[in-house]
A and B are shown apart, each in its own frame.
Chain A
């Protein structure tokens, strides 16, 4: 158990819909990362937050957005969903958001878009 929690574990929705994925980092960690894992794209970094502020963006689509709240939990919002958005979405956390730090991964949210 990494200490990172993600809800829900599974999500099934239809094309065009909007969903919100939630992540609670390890106690004391200020930085949260979001990753997408799919068969064709592999594991891709989406976005990073540090203490409520966006720090870095990766391959995140404009239809996707995220935020980190004062209690440090984070939400990833996916809108206008397409079939290709079906994937496993991971959240990870680290203490200070530095490149040298270990990122601790949650169990993931499996999204299926029908």
Chain B
């Protein structure tokens, strides 16, 4: 069974500082990995996804993530935090082989931006 672990339920950074949100996955086969963002009282919006095409994935709003198979990680980064980045971030995994089974989500990380 696949699983995702997000280290840190809350992360606080200063505006302009580096954002690093950690995600580790467990999967018996190379997975597809996703980062979603959820703003208050809204649905989830895709930031970026890894589908084995390239290990460094660039997404929207200046975010990027690097797939590291040896570390089973897919950490999300942004060089300079902006106040508008304050939100809940979810890492998720889905299976390969064209299968279904939905997304398996981590518990989420609440990103707080200090002025």
Contact = CB atoms under 8 A, between A and B. Distances in A.
Interface stretch (B13-21, B41-49, B67-75): B41-49
Interface residues of A, number: 29
A12 B102 CA distance: 27
Contacts of B44: 90, 92, 105
Nearest to A47: B102
A31 B80 CA distance: 37
Contacts, number: 68
A48 B45 contact: no
Q: Chain B binding site: helix, strand, loop or mixed by DSSP? A: loop
A23 B76 CA distance: 30
Interface string A71-101: 0000000000000000000101000011110
A2 B43 contact: yes
A102 B46 contact: yes
Q: Chain A binding site: helix, strand, loop or mixed by DSSP? A: strand
Interface of B: 32, 34, 36, 42-46, 49, 51, 90, 94-108
Given A42-B107, A42-B108, A100-B94, 6 more contacts: A2-B45, A45-B104, A56-B101, A100-B98, A105-B43, A105-B44
12 contacts: A42-B106, A43-B108, A45-B102, A58-B101, A98-B100, A99-B97, A99-B98, A99-B100, A100-B32, A102-B46, A104-B46, A107-B42
